[in-house]
Amino acid sequence: MIRSQIFTISLVILMFSLYACSTSSKKNTEGSKKDAAVTVDCAGGSIKNEAVDEIIIDGQSCLIIGVTVERSVRVRNSAAIIMVENDVGHGIEVTDSAFVGIVNNRIISGNLEVIENVQVQVLDNRLLDGDIRVIGNDDADVNRNEASGDISCDDNRQLDSFLNHANGKEDCRR
């Protein structure tokens, strides 16, 4: 439990650090939910309060807050990816990244897949039509998630998991 609390504190500190860096940069990606839908990559360090078609990130750190994503979010090779309070149409996939925080997101259809990362926190997410798969990570916290399908936590070196609810199978217990 203490390890989970320390990780949560670290997540919050990292989120605010990324937020501070992104708000001080010259490039501003902030907009309203009525902005035209486009595919974005997070070149400015954050994506906040926008409507986009798809997010594809390769090798960049990114803070994603309050975004409506029509299709999917795909991330790989990121030092830090943090997603908080987003609506995603067709799933989230994060692979080969160092720090992953996916907190309080809603996925309409499709899966939430967090595969082969270092440190992972998947908390309070809701999947209306899909599965959660947290597989092959070094350290994974998977807590208080809801999925219409299955919740799987296979081959993680360390796993902290509780209060998940799946309409299908839930196998995130050690």
Tell me what pLDDT residue 15 has: 52
pLDDT tens, residue by residue, 108-163: 999 999 999 999 999 999 999 999 999 999 999 999 999 999 999 999 999 999 99
State which residues form the domain around 150.
2-171
Confidence of residue 34 (pLDDT cuts 50, 70, 90): very low
> Mean pLDDT over all residues of the chain?
84
Tell me how many domains the chain contains.
1
Query: What CA–CA distance (Å, rounded) separates 56 from 59?
Result: 10
- pTM for this predicted structure: 0.80
Tell me what pLDDT residue 14 has: 55
Mean pLDDT highest for which of 41-55, 102-116, 159-173? 102-116
